[in-house]
Amino acid sequence: SAVISQKPSRDICQRGTSLTIQCQVDSQVTMMFWYRQQPGQSLTLIATANQGSEATYESGFVIDKFPISRPNLTFSTLTVSNMSPEDSSIYLCSVDGQGVGNTEAFFGQGTRLTVV
């Protein structure tokens, strides 16, 4: 299994500002994933982050809005840029626990973001 620490756990931010969310894993993992969970909704994949390469974004998500860093095999950051109230969501980091596709995913506790 993998233990994932996400920071911050929650934040309230002003519109137009940016927030960077950190995800730290206790073991080296190939793939890291960032999800968004809007209020009362399911999880939507934002992007996949592999170390040493640019993140791969899903349809509807762009790098300018959600820049991602993956400097090593245990850490990643997601930035929510130029925030608006529509960005109020829970953002979750996830890792591939087996190293062969996402056949077992582990999740952080999430970052609850409120934009005012």
Q: Site residues (CB under 8 A) for other proteins?
A: 4, 31, 33, 41-45, 48, 92, 94, 96, 101-110
Please give the angle made by the CA atoms of 65, 86 and 3, to the nearest 5 degrees.
70
For tokens 């995800």, the residue is 23
| Nearest-approach distance from CB 68 to other proteins, in angstroms | 15
| Nearest-approach distance from CB 45 to other proteins, in angstroms | 6
Our CB check for other proteins shows the closer of 75 and 106 to be 106
Our CB check for other proteins shows the closer of 87 and 96 to be 96
Question: What Cα–Cα distance (Å) separates residue 78 from each residue in 17, 20, 23, 66, 98?
Answer: 14, 6, 8, 6, 23
The answer to whether 70 and 50 have CB atoms below 8 angstroms apart is yes
Our CB check for other proteins shows the closer of 33 and 66 to be 33
